[in-house]
Amino acid sequence: MRTTSEHPSALTEDPRELDRTDPLSHIAAAAEAYRNWGRWGEDDRLGTLNLIDDDARARAAALVRRGASFSLSQPFDMNGPQQGWRRRTNPVHTMLDTGTDAEFIGQGFPHGLGGADDVIAMPLQCSTQWDGLGHIFDRGMAWNGRPAGRVVTSEGDLVTGIEHAASAIVGRGVLLDLGRLLGPRLDEAGRDELPDGYAITVDDLEACIEAQGPTSRVGRGDLVLVRTGRYTRARREGWNGYAGGPSAGLSFTTAGWIHRTGVAAIATDTWGFEVRPNEFDDAFQPLHQVVIPNIGLTVGEMWDLDALAEDCAADGRYEFLLTAPPLPITGAVGSPVNPIALK
């Protein structure tokens, strides 16, 4: 167990050693131990995405051998996972002009031209998405030690808006299929799915890397995808609390692993990235509170990793070129994304 002088019993990588009654001490200890404030300068806007350099992208591009392409996005439609929590809704897609208009009404164009137009209204984090660095604060502080109120205002994220990451999230992707590794032993039906409430530990992550082989090594600048199988179950059985409900996910105690491996970003097939219910009696997303505003980690959620996982299991290669740029929405604290894995 690792400790700090200020919080001598609060820093651990063993979930059994967490004091469920004292999330604040654990959060404070992890924030202090793993904080990257100032690492990339006072004006930094990218956090750990700085770890993806040009050489890393060139090496990632060389991973494409077959040209197989996998979209890792859930659909963006009214049948999505959202149920209104914090006013989050599913996308509302509306047609402005249609073929019916062109055929029966006319649209005012010359020589028989017709067309269709549409509009979509949605929260930026209603389906497959990135959490930007302005999305979560730690006790009033945003990424890089800035006061939260000076970063995100009614005009948006004035400092770390998601638009700054528009060209950054291209690099080596690595799939860690924890559902396939542990699910057959833990799931009642023996499926490649982790049960709700299962906290993925550092030992689990390292065991998965060992089991999957050398192409699963995780290091500086990598984009790590963690499959639990939660989305697999949602597609089979319906949403049933997928958004905000119980789920397997990363343990709070993985914060140190995230920091020392030097990964650039992590995305999961779950709504909330970390295990739910959380590992403290009275807490909400405590791992978010450490990794986003303190480590500077970009976090992805609600990704569809199933087809990619099947392909990785079939050919034994768990690394690929991943391109997952956010929409450059000025001042946004998150963005929808259609990630593409190329093998």
Report the pLDDT averaged over residues 131-150: 98
Closest by CA to 143, choosing from 155, 131, 154, is 131
Specify whether 27 is located in the same domain as 111.
no
3-state SS class at 189: coil
Is the predicted pLDDT of residue 215 greater than 90, yes or no? yes
Q: pLDDT tens across 247-264, in order?
A: 999 999 999 999 999 999
Query: Rounded CA gap, 129 and 311, in Å?
Result: 23
Q: Count the helix, strand and coil residues of the chain and give each as a percent rounded to the nearest 5.
A: 30, 20, 50
Examine residue 154 and state whether it is found in any structural domain, yes or no. Answer: yes
pLDDT at residue number 113: 95
How many angstroms separate the Cα of 145 from the Cα of each of 29, 46, 84, 203? 16, 14, 32, 31
Is the predicted pLDDT of residue 16 greater than 90, yes or no? yes
**Percent of the chain at pLDDT exceeding 90:** 95
Query: Rounded CA gap, 143 and 164, in Å?
Result: 14
> Residue 329 contacts by C-beta under 8 Å, 6 or more apart in sequence?
124, 161, 162, 163, 335
Structure tokens at 44: 């930094």
Q: pLDDT tens across 36-63, in order?
A: 999 999 999 999 999 999 999 999 999 9
Examine residue 301 and state whether it is found in any structural domain, yes or no. Answer: yes
Specify whether 41 is located in the same domain as 110.
no
Specify whether 306 is located in the same domain as 283.
yes
Structure tokens at 65: 């051998």
Q: Which string of DSSP letters, residue by residue, matches 291-306?
A: IIIII--EEEESB--H
| Total tally of structural domains belonging to the chain | 2
Report the pLDDT averaged over residues 89-110: 95
Query: Rounded CA gap, 306 and 287, in Å?
Result: 25
Q: pLDDT tens across 295-340, in order?
A: 999 999 999 999 999 999 999 999 999 999 999 999 999 999 999 9
Across the chain, mean pLDDT equals 96
pLDDT at residue number 10: 79
Q: pLDDT tens across 160-202, in order?
A: 999 999 999 999 999 999 999 999 999 999 999 999 999 999 9
Is the predicted pLDDT of residue 81 greater than 70, yes or no? yes
Is the predicted pLDDT of residue 5 greater than 90, yes or no? no
Q: Indicate the burial class of 250 (C-beta count within 10 angstroms; 0-12, 13-18, 19 or more).
A: buried
pLDDT at residue number 9: 60
Count Cβ atoms below 10 Å from residue 302 Cβ, excluding itself: 29
Closest by CA to 229, choosing from 194, 267, 205, is 194
Is the predicted pLDDT of residue 1 greater than 50, yes or no? no
How many angstroms separate the Cα of 89 from the Cα of each of 72, 81, 236, 304? 21, 9, 21, 19
Examine residue 289 and state whether it is found in any structural domain, yes or no. Answer: yes
pLDDT at residue number 85: 85
Confidence of residue 8 (pLDDT cuts 50, 70, 90): very low
**Containing domain of residue 113, as a range?**
93-121
Is the predicted pLDDT of residue 109 greater than 70, yes or no? yes
Is the predicted pLDDT of residue 4 greater than 90, yes or no? no
3-state SS class at 87: helix
Is the predicted pLDDT of residue 150 greater than 60, yes or no? yes
Examine residue 8 and state whether it is found in any structural domain, yes or no. Answer: no
Query: Rounded CA gap, 293 and 36, in Å?
Result: 9
Examine residue 256 and state whether it is found in any structural domain, yes or no. Answer: yes
Specify whether 148 is located in the same domain as 201.
yes
Specify whether 142 is located in the same domain as 78.
yes
CB 13 within 8 A of CB 257: yes
Specify whether 117 is located in the same domain as 156.
no
CATH number (domain holding residue 276): 3.50.30.50
pLDDT at residue number 13: 95
Examine residue 281 and state whether it is found in any structural domain, yes or no. Answer: yes
Specify whether 101 is located in the same domain as 191.
no
